[in-house]
Amino acid sequence: MSGLRAQKKADKNRRILEAATTLFRKVGYDSARIEDIAEMAGVSVGTFYNYYKNKGDMLMATVSMEVEEVLAAGEGIIAKKHDQVASALFDLIGKYYDHSLTYLSKEMWRTAMSLSIAQPETPFSKRYTALDHRLSKQVCDLFRSLQDRGIVRKDVDCMALGELVFNNVNMMFIEFVKDEDMDVDGLKASVAKQNLPVASLISVGAH
């Protein structure tokens, strides 16, 4: 039987991933030791490193899942027939933020962001950055969609503005995960306030 090796491999992969995510959520990323993850998965420490390049790599699976789902949900929001810039932005960004803690804790987000900044040449960082860019592009797409439907002024550079707005969304999310006391509603309110001048200025018919 030639599939025995592949089967064992898939099984171990699953067990390690399961053990890691369980422990990350239970005791936090930092306190979850590789030794513990390996033990819970029923493998040795060395085997862990056969399946994952390092501890941070384990996070990326979860981050990826999280962001992919958010991107899919975002497409649905963009397809809607919004009649206001501010509310369209609020919907899209709200979706991002609402979903953000589904699989990841604030501590896990902090670790992921921290890693992606500290070691930009790693696959981890590159994948993280790529996901960020897709989110950024989605905000641009929303502006363009609104512009096509006559909600946003024709003379606005949607790409530039989308990047600006998304970078603010992202930076505010960093502040959010840095502050254990801040809740999603507070975050959404702050960002909505920051977006308001922009929304009002680019709206057709305003002023």
Residue numbers at the binding site for DNA (CB under 7 A)? 1-6, 8-9, 12, 30-35, 43-47, 49-51, 54-56
Which residues are bridge partners to 203 per DSSP?
152
What is the footprint of a second copy within residues 49-88 (CB under 8 A)?
none
CB of 178 to a second copy, least distance (A): 4
101 part of the interface to a second copy, by CB under 8 A? no
User: Among 117, 150, 186, 189, which residue sits at the site for a second copy (rule: CB under 8 A)?
Assistant: 117
Classify 90 as helix, strand or coil: helix
The 10 Å Cβ neighbour count of residue 10 is 11
Among 18, 179, 183, 185, binds a second copy (CB under 8 A): 179
Out of 13, 22, 168, 204, the residue judged to bind a second copy by CB under 8 A: 168
Identify which of residues 55 and 82 has a Cβ nearer to DNA in the complex: 55
Task: Judge contact between 187 and 176, C-beta under 8 A.
Answer: yes
Does 172 engage in binding with a second copy (CB under 8 A)? Answer: yes
Q: State the residue for tokens 């590789």.
A: 34
Burial 15-24, CB ≥16 within 10 A → b, else e: bbbebbbebb
CB of 63 to DNA, least distance (A): 16
Rounded alpha-carbon distances, angstroms, from residue 132 to 3, 110, 120, 137: 38, 15, 13, 9
Q: What is the distance between the alpha carbons of residues 82 and 156, in angstroms, rounded to a whole number?
A: 18
By beta-carbon proximity to DNA, the closer residue of 32 and 140 is: 32
Q: How far is the CB of 33 from DNA (least distance, A)?
A: 4
Minimum separation from the CB atom of position 57 to DNA (A): 8
Kindly tell me which residue out of 135, 174, 184, 204 binds a second copy, with binding defined by CB under 8 A: 174
Between the alpha carbon of residue 127 and those of residues 67, 68, 106, 131, 138, the distances in Å are 11, 12, 19, 6, 17
Helix (H, G, I), strand (E, B) or coil at 66: helix
Partnered with residue 152 across adjacent β-strands are 203
Q: Does 189 bind a second copy (CB under 8 A)?
A: no
Is residue 129 near a second copy by the rule CB under 8 A?
yes
> Which residues of the chain form contacts with a second copy (CB under 8 A)?
110-111, 113-118, 120, 125, 129, 156-157, 160-161, 163-165, 167-168, 170-172, 174, 177-180, 193-198, 201-202
